Amino acid sequence: MGEAPSQSVETDGPQRTPVENVVIIGSGPAGYTAAIYAARANLNPLLITGFQAGGIPGGQLMTTTHVENYPGFPDGILGPELMDRMKAQSVRWGTHLVEADAERVDLSVRPFRIHTSEAQTIHAHTLILATGASANRLHLPQEERFWSRGISACAICDGATPQFRREELAVVGGGDSACEEAVYLTKYGSHVHLIVRSDRLRASAAMADRVLANPAISLHWNRELLDVAGGGAAGDADWLGSIILRDRIGGGTENLPVRGLFYAIGHTPNTSLLQGQIPLDERGYLVTRPGRPETELDGVFAAGDVADAEWRQGITAAASGCQAALAAERWLSHHGLAVTVRREVVEPAPAGEPMRTLESDADNYNPEALWQKGAYALRKLYHDSPKPLLVVYTSPSCGPCHVLKPQLKRVLQELESRAQGVEIDIEADPEIALQAGVNGTPTVQLFLAKEMKQQWRGVKQRREFRDAIEALTPPA
């Protein structure tokens, strides 16, 4: 496509135009990089972060620990922190974020239409699809029964759960995720079994070496997981007690006693939103021109894992986000459709570093504070506060916790001191988590007058928490 001069119209501020220049769906490295480039091209991009469909905002790096292969961070960086930085960079340059799921798109009309879970309809000249991929499940016969009761799809989120401490645990898979999770779980479990369906690890050599050199990890080659069962030596029939394995070479089966089972068996592209709208390949991946971001639909571009079954790295996703934004800019320019913004301030203010909440103790505890951290604050507020109390149980590297906490703080701010919040790190306070019956993070419990009124597992929409608190505290 040639580079015809843009007939762009300029608007004075970041207000929205009736038709967006470029809408990006997805908030992983691909989506945020596309947003950074589109924002710096003064295209005033709108990015739909996604919320529950297809995983959490920030994408798959939100459920990893140390990312050691992203250039520019010689000592590595935590996945959620890397995503925070990309988000801050895109916002600093003027990206407008919509914290919702894209529920439906209509690509048969121009401008394209995108319908969100917040009942918005957004019109767009160009669309960048960066919806990524979601973790697979095995769908074992007894999987539902033991889901969150020993089985988890996220070792990084749930590993610190008290029920897993000093117990034998298993991870199934042979890729980088499985290896990373097996190593991570040795922090908590007494021993980790890695169940591999073939006779080789698909993981990078550096990651595989870490697993092979770790005496706390045993490899079970050529094993297929047939089912799971409860009970075992610890006796609790409602919690996972063992897994049943089949030897794919010898044919025999064995019962391996474990209290935790973690899935790391790859991903499926998040394209259900696009079914019937745009060509997908036989595995559900978006079809693009070879090595390029253009899809088969003019004005629709793909970035990241949604169109990449092969490389699937943070850095390749980011690079394709850059390509998609540049291609969208050219497309808008060629069609004379770009409505660019004029910046009043050429250099936006620095994004700054995120604020951390300090653990409350007898010296700094504040009975009126909206948000505090730790066992001391929980005990005081639980016994003394007349207001609804939102308790969020987190663990240090849990990406979904990272997404949820600012949402909860926002709810409390919006409710103007009608409720208070406390954060409990279950790694620092495992006995509190055990008492509260918490078996994964994030878990949120809502209390009033020492009575638990409601509990949520995982990331939920803000309005669910707001509605529950409002039901307990009708406005005066």
Please pick, from the candidates 80, 174, 421, 442, the single residue that binds ligand NDP as defined by CB under 6 A. 174
Q: Which of residues 128-147 bind ligand NDP (CB under 6 A)?
A: 138
Rounded to a whole number of angstroms, the minimum distance from the CB of residue 92 to ligand NDP is: 26
69 is a contact residue toward ligand NDP (CB under 6 A): yes
Q: Are 407 and 394 in contact (CB under 8 A)?
A: no
381: its two tokens: 């507020």
Shortest separation between residue 267's beta carbon and ligand NDP, angstroms: 6
Distance of CA 60 to the CA centre of its chain: 6
Which residue in 92, 191, 312, 335 binds ligand NDP (CB under 6 A)?
Answer: 312
Task: Report if residue 198 touches ligand NDP, rule: CB under 6 A.
Answer: yes
Give one DSSP letter per residue of 435-475, joined into a string: HTT--SSSEEEEEETTEEEEEEES---HHHHHHHHHHHS--
Shortest distance (Å) from residue 217 CB to ligand NDP: 15
Q: Are strands 9-11 and 339-341 parallel, antiparallel or unpaired?
A: parallel
> Closest CB to ligand NDP among 176 and 329?
176
Q: Residues 264-293: x/- map of binding to ligand NDP (CB under 6 A)?
A: xxxx--------------------------
Q: Whose Cβ is closer to ligand NDP: residue 55's or residue 421's?
A: 55
With beta carbons less than 8 A apart as the criterion, state whether 60 and 30 touch.
no
Asked if 199 and 222 touch (Cβ cutoff 8 Å), the reply is yes
User: Would you call 179 a catalytic residue per the annotation?
Assistant: no
Q: Which residues are 422's β-sheet partners?
A: 372, 391
For residue 401, indicate whether it is catalytic: yes
Exposed, middle or buried: residue 53 (CB in 10 Å: 0-12, 13-18, 19+)?
middle
Alpha carbon 110 to its chain centroid, in Å, reads: 31
159 binds ligand NDP, rule: CB under 6 A: no
Shortest Å, Cβ 79 to ligand NDP: 8
Which of 146/393 has CB closer to ligand NDP? 146
Using CB under 6 A as the binding rule, whether residue 63 contacts ligand NDP is answered as no
177 contacts ligand NDP (rule: CB under 6 A): yes
Cα gap 17→111, rounded to integer Å: 12
Closest separation in Å from C-beta 296 to ligand NDP: 25
Nearest CB to ligand NDP, comparing residues 155 and 436: 155
Considering only the stretches 42-50, 195-203, 237-245, 431-439, report the one whose residues sit in contact with ligand NDP under the rule CB under 6 A: 195-203
CB of 169 to ligand NDP, least distance (A): 16
Closest approach, Cβ 344 to ligand NDP, in A, equals 41
**Between residues 257 and 266, which has the closer beta carbon with respect to ligand NDP?**
266
Which member of 27, 64, 90, 394 binds ligand NDP (CB under 6 A)? 64
Question: For ligand NDP, which is the closer residue by CB, 220 or 267?
Answer: 267
Binding mask 401-440 toward ligand NDP (x if CB under 6 A, else -) reads ----------------------------------------
Q: How many CB atoms lie within 10 A of CB 277?
A: 16
Look at the block and give the residue holding tokens 């701010």.
413
User: What residue spans of 188-256 are helical by DSSP H?
Assistant: 205-212
Residue 205, classified by CB atoms within 10 Å of its CB into exposed (0-12), middle (13-18) or buried (19+), is exposed
- Counting other chains too, the contacts that 118-125 makes at CB distance below 8 Å and 24 or more residues apart are 122/20, 122/23, 122/46, 122/48, 122/98, 123/18, 123/19, 123/20, 124/19, 124/20, 124/21, 124/22, 124/23, 124/46, 125/19, 125/20, 125/21, 125/22, 125/299, 125/332, 125/335, 125/337
In angstroms, the CA 444 to CA 459 distance is 9
Q: What angle do CA 462, 121, 463 make, to 5 degrees?
A: 10
- Least distance in angstroms from the C-beta of 142 to ligand NDP: 16
180 binds ligand NDP (CB under 6 A): yes
CB burial of residue 213 (10 Å; 0-12, 13-18, 19+)? exposed
Residue with the closest Cβ to ligand NDP?
175
Query: Counting contacts by CB under 6 A, is residue 92 touching ligand NDP?
Result: no
Active site residues: 398, 401
Residues forming the site for ligand NDP (CB under 6 A): 64, 67, 69, 138, 172-178, 180, 197-198, 202, 264-267, 312-313
